[in-house]
Amino acid sequence: MRDSAQFSMGKALVYLVTGGCGFIGEHIVELLCKQDYVSEVRVFDSVAGEEVKKFATATTCVTVMKGDIRDYDLLLSAMRGVHVVIHTAAIVDYTDTVPFREMKAVNVAGTENVLTACCTLSVPYVVYTSSIAAVGPNTRQEPMLRGTEDTKYSGEVELPYGKTKAMAEKLVLEANGKEVQNNGGKLATCIICPNTVYGEKHLVLKNLHTSAKAKGGVLNYLEPEDTERNCTYVGNVAWMHVLAARNLQLKPDILAGQVYYSYDDTPTRKGFLVRYQLLSGMDPSIRLGSRIPYWKLWLQIYFYRIIRILLYPFWKPQPFLNLPLLNTVTTTFFYETDKAFRHFGYTPLYSWGESKRRTTEWLKAATKNSRSHQPHRKET
């Protein structure tokens, strides 16, 4: 762990991480607990689990509070005495499992609650976890290649999830510079936008392994071979949040009101190759298959829609790939940036080798546990 003494401001800080039991949030909590300027990390999560308490150290305690960010009074109670908020809580849904109004209520209205509570309680610093899905692809499937945070990209966002994150981003940026009560200070906000994130507890990887094993170890993929997309290890995404939150306090004139795209040294821009390297590194029997044609998936999606309409409400099939998600996966959306390094000295905390090792070790343990919990079938 890097020396954090350079950040010392002469007092122990209390951080609140909303969604701190989630995929990215848990890694943020782990890294915050290793910083000597943090005395307490409060975790506010609707599915609050005690597991994150294992990250507590001799100098940093972890307090877990169960709550929904739509409950303003409960959120207000959790935020009393907090110095910094890292807001990661959100409904992440790509398969139309969650109604749009519910996702909007959490991702947009919940974010508004966080910002209002910060102004009310004079909590001056907010780092918001957004997504590149808030930028695009758009409904015309226009690609972005070698873009940066300053690249102009317009049009209606394709994914419903991305639409809610774009609305929340707008709230966060508009809140920057607002006066907070009591001390006459101003709110400073910034935004971190990950693209495709992988790492420990990424259940999509675990499910892909199960699917590949069911097909004889063959890992097929959806995206064309020339499609490019950023893939970033979750530990590096979390590290960018930790550095941004600290430097938002030290250099608000630079970071406040800014958006940062996450990045690291993951070696390929092709998502299916990253998945293959991770899965084959864990299980050498996994073989890279072939691309599933777009037209075949398009037909399956519309067939699924018809079946769901005809059989509803008697049968509710499992969520399936939908057209917005298919179009997103098959559209190049790749950026090259060093803005986080230039503004607050970010460099990846974990190399590609270490990221791969940590991910494959978790996958091995996760698949082993899944097999051990499967019921034994009687031979007949």
Give all domains of the chain, ordered by start, each with its CATH number: 12-200+230-266+334-350 (3.40.50.720)
Residue 308 pLDDT greater than 60, yes or no: yes
| 125-139, 268-282, 341-355: least confidently modelled range | 268-282
Q: Write the DSSP string, 318-357.
A: PP---HHHHHHHTS-EEE---HHHHHH----SS-HHHHHH
What residues form DSSP beta bridges with 87? 18, 128
Q: Return the closest-CA partner of residue 202 out of 238, 150, 246.
A: 238
**pLDDT-based confidence at 268, cuts 50/70/90?**
confident
Mean pLDDT of the chain: 90
**Which tens digits make up the pLDDT trace of 5-29?**
334 454 689 999 999 999 999 999 9
Burial class (CB in 10 A: 0-12, 13-18, 19+), 220: middle
Helix H or strand E segment including 218: strand 218-221
**CB distance 65 to 104 below 8 Å:** no
**Which tens digits make up the pLDDT trace of 91-106?**
999 888 899 999 999 9
At a CB cut-off of 8 Å and minimum separation 6, what does 128 contact?
A: 87, 111, 168, 169, 172, 189, 190, 191, 192
**pLDDT-based confidence at 351, cuts 50/70/90?**
very high
Q: What is the pLDDT of residue 306?
A: 84
At a CB cut-off of 8 Å and minimum separation 6, what does 199 contact?
A: 23, 27, 233, 234, 235, 355, 358, 359, 362
Residue 234 pLDDT greater than 80, yes or no: yes
Q: Return the closest-CA partner of residue 30 out of 349, 264, 296, 262.
A: 349
**pLDDT-based confidence at 284, cuts 50/70/90?**
very high
User: In whole angstroms, what is the distance from residue 171 CA to residue 169 CA?
Assistant: 5
- In the chain, the percentage of residues whose pLDDT exceeds 90 is 76
**Which tens digits make up the pLDDT trace of 53-94?**
999 898 999 999 999 999 999 999 999 999 999 999 999 998
Predicted model pTM: 0.91
Catalytic residue among 161, 198, 233, 276: 161
Neighbours of 325 (CB within 10 A): 19
**CB distance 88 to 151 below 8 Å:** no
Active site residue 161: yes
Q: What is the pLDDT of residue 185?
A: 85
